Amino acid sequence: MQGTQTSYCAGSVEGSNLADCVQKQIIGLGGLIDRKTNTQQLYVTKHTNAVAILVEMAFIDQEDDNKKLGDPIWQDNFARAIARGITDYVQ
């Protein structure tokens, strides 16, 4: 597997909206494969009263992705993209 994906709990309209906002911002960084948003029955997104998503920015078992994850500039870019996505969601 390679790329960026954001998961949310099936049936969560707000989770879907938040996932879309965050995924859009991360993919906007360029140089990433868009694996889109998806629904998964993950404990962290299903068993909460809050709007929840799980962001997989890249996969460590893929050479190109691994380089990005280890690069402080990419780490900062990922963090800022997630923050912008959350800001987009709440506005």
Q: What is the DSSP letter of 45?
A: H
Q: Give how far Cα 4 sits from Cα of 50, 51, 60, Å.
A: 23, 20, 12
pLDDT of residue 45: 87
Domain residue ranges in the chain: 4-85
pLDDT digits (tens, 9 = 90+) for 12-32: 999 999 999 999 999 999 999
pLDDT given at position 68: 95
pTM: 0.93
Structural Rg of the chain based on CA atoms: 13
Q: Class of the 4-85 domain?
A: alpha beta
Q: How far is the C-alpha of 15 from the C-alpha of 19, rounded, in Å?
A: 6
Distance of alpha carbon 62 from alpha carbon 49, whole angstroms: 34
pLDDT digits (tens, 9 = 90+) for 32-88: 999 999 998 888 888 888 999 999 999 999 999 999 999 999 999 999 999 999 999
